[in-house]
Amino acid sequence: MNIYALSSGNGPTGIAIIRVSGSDTNKISKLITKQDALSSKAVNLCKFYNPRDGSLIDEGLLLWFPGPNSFTGEDLAEFHIHGSNAVIAHFLNILSEQENCRLAEPGEFTKIAFQNDKVDLVEAESIGDLIHSETELQRKQAVKLVQGNASKYYNDLREKLVKSLSYIEAKIDFAEDDLPEKVLKEVHKSIKNIQQDIKKILEDNKIGEKIRDGFRVSIIGEVNAGKSSLLNLLSKREVAIVSEEAGTTRDVIEIFLSIDGYPVILADTAGIRETKNEVEKKGVSLALEKLKKADINIIMIDNSSKEIDNKIKDLINKDSIVLLNKSDIKNDQNHKFDATTILVSVKDNKNIDIFVKKLKEKLSNKFATKKNTLITRERHRVKLSECLKEIDKFLSKDQNKDIELAAEDLRMATRHLGSIVGKVDVEEILGSIFKDFCIGK
C-alpha cells in the first residue's frame, strides 16, 4: 500500500509539499508528470496532470528519493506545488484515485521510517517534539535528540549489559569449565557502574520533561493584588476577567508562554482569604494545590496594604518571587521578606522586565544541568526504573547459587533498556508514540 499526505502547513501558502511513499511511488509520479524518467540527483521541474483526463493541475518541483535512501526507507516523492487550498485539495483527490494509494495516518511516514531502521524510537519521538516545539529551549533539546545523543547513550548502556549477560550465560552453558573469577568480578563491577549511571539519569529533577511540557509557575496571593492583571500583561491579551470586586477569580486559569525562551505554564489562581462562599472556597483550595505543584511561585501582594495576612507570608519560600504590586500608589510601606522581592506596577508596566529576567534566572538556576542525556518522556523514565529494579535484583543474588535466576534478571534489564530505543518487540507502544504526530510526518 502507498500512502500520501500534505506535509507542509494548510493553505493558502506560497508552496505546499505533498509526500507519497510506497512501492508504486515512481509509477504514480510518472503518471502525474507524464515523464518517463525522474532524476534522484537533481530537482525535477515538472507539469502535473490529472491521469484521468490529462488536464493540467499545476506546475512545480518534484523531488525523487528511491528507497532505501529516503526518509521512510521506501520509494518516496515530494511534490512542491502552489499552496492554494484549491490546488492542494485537487492534487490530494487525484492521489486518492490511484490504485493502492490512501491518505497517511498521523505519524505514519515516521512510523515506516522506524520499521525500516531509518530512525529508532527516541529519534522518532524527538521528531514529534521538534515539530511541536514552541520555545528555543524546546527546539535545542529536540535537536539533540534527533541527532541521536540520547539513543547512543542508551545503546551503549544496553551493549554493556548484553556483554555482561553473555559472560553469565557462558558460565551457565559451560558449567564444567570454570570461568575465571576475575571475569565474574569484572561483570559485577560493570553492572554496578550501569546501576549508578541509571540512578544519576533518574535523579534529574525531571528537567527534560519540564522543558518538553513547560515549567509550572503559579501566581498566588491576596485578593485584588493584581494577579489576573499580571496574567493578562504577560500573555498580551485579555485572558482573565479583571474587576475591582474582590474574589472574581474562582477557577485556575492556565496559559502557555515563552518567557525569554523558557516554556512556562502560567497559572492565575483565586485570592487567598477566609470566605463563606463555597465556590470561592473551592477556588482557594485549588490555588493552594497549584502552589504545591509549581516549580516557581509568584506571590502577589498589594504594596499599599498596611498589614500582610500571615497566611500569605507562610506561602513565601526560597522558590518564590514576591511582587509588591501597585507601586504607582504612593505609600510609606516597606515590606520585606526572605525571598526575591520586586516592587512593580502592573498597571504602569513598571519593573515587569526585571521580574521576567529574575524568573528566568530562577528557572535556570533551579533546573541547571550539565547532563547531555535528559529523560524527556514518562515512557523512558518507567523503562529505566524497571531496568534498575532488575539490576538491583541481580546484584542482591548469590551468583554462584542462583546464577540462572540472576541471568534472567539481566535479560529483563536488557529488555527494558532496549525498549526505550526499540531494540525489542515494541508493537504495543508504537500506537501511543505516533498518534500525536501530524498527518504528513
The CA-atom distances, in angstroms, between 37 and each of 30, 84, 210, 428 are 7, 28, 50, 41
240 and 148 in one domain?
Answer: no
Burial of 183 (0-12, 13-18, 19+ CB in 10 A): middle
Residue 440 within any structural domain of the chain: no
Whether residue 427 is predicted with pLDDT greater than 60 in this model: the reply is no
Domain with 290 in it: 212-366
SS3 15: strand
| CATH number of the domain residue 168 falls in | 1.20.120.430
The lowest-confidence range among 157-161, 208-212, 313-317, 399-403 is 399-403
Specify the pLDDT at position 53: 93
225 and 185 in one domain?
Answer: no
Specify the pLDDT at position 380: 92
Whether residue 248 is predicted with pLDDT greater than 60 in this model: the reply is no
Distance between CA atoms of 360 and 266, rounded to whole angstroms?
13
| CATH number of the domain residue 17 falls in | 3.30.1360.120
264 and 155 in one domain?
Answer: no
Q: Specify the higher pLDDT residue, 385 or 371.
A: 385
User: Is it true that the peptide bond before 51 is cis, omega within 30 degrees of 0?
Assistant: no
274 and 159 in one domain?
Answer: no
Distance between CA atoms of 104 and 118, rounded to whole angstroms?
18
- What is the pLDDT of the chain when averaged over all its residues? 84
The lowest-confidence range among 85-89, 122-126, 146-150, 189-193 is 146-150
| CATH number of the domain residue 277 falls in | 3.40.50.300
Residues sharing a CB contact under 8 Å with residue 364, sequence separation 6 or more, in sequence order: 262
Distance between CA atoms of 290 and 254, rounded to whole angstroms?
11
Task: Give Rg (Cα) of the chain.
Answer: 29
Q: How confident is the model at residue 428 (pLDDT cuts 50, 70, 90)?
A: very low
Q: How many domains does the chain have?
A: 3
Average pLDDT over residues 55-65: 96
Q: At what angle do helices 403-421 and 149-173 cross, to 10 degrees?
A: 160
Percent of the chain scored above 70 by pLDDT? 87
Whether residue 372 is predicted with pLDDT greater than 70 in this model: the reply is no
| pTM (predicted TM-score) | 0.75
Q: How confident is the model at residue 32 (pLDDT cuts 50, 70, 90)?
A: very high
Distance between CA atoms of 265 and 262, rounded to whole angstroms?
10
Instruction: Please name the helix (run of DSSP H) or strand (run of DSSP E) that holds residue 49, with its range, or none.
Output: strand 44-49
Q: How confident is the model at residue 233 (pLDDT cuts 50, 70, 90)?
A: confident
Compute how many other C-beta atoms are within 10 angstroms of the C-beta atom of residue 189: 11
Specify the pLDDT at position 432: 44
Q: How confident is the model at residue 22 (pLDDT cuts 50, 70, 90)?
A: very high
Q: Smallest Cα–Cα separation from 416: which of 378, 371, 381, 373?
A: 381
Q: Which residues are bridge partners to 235 per DSSP?
A: none
Whether residue 177 is predicted with pLDDT greater than 80 in this model: the reply is no
Residues sharing a CB contact under 8 Å with residue 278, sequence separation 6 or more, in sequence order: none
Whether residue 351 is predicted with pLDDT greater than 70 in this model: the reply is yes
Specify the pLDDT at position 429: 42
SS3 365: helix
Average pLDDT over residues 271-275: 73
Average pLDDT over residues 215-226: 87
Specify the pLDDT at position 196: 93
Specify the pLDDT at position 317: 84
217 and 359 in one domain?
Answer: yes
242 and 129 in one domain?
Answer: no
Residue 112 within any structural domain of the chain: no
Domain end, chosen from 337, 366, 395, is at 366
Position 3, amino acid:
I
Q: In what order do the strands lie in the sheet with 320-325?
A: 253-259, 262-268, 215-221, 296-302, 320-325, 340-343
Q: Which residues are bridge partners to 321 per DSSP?
A: 298, 340
Domain end, chosen from 70, 104, 138, is at 104
How many helices (DSSP H) and strands (DSSP E) are in the chain?
A: 15, 12
Position 104, amino acid:
A
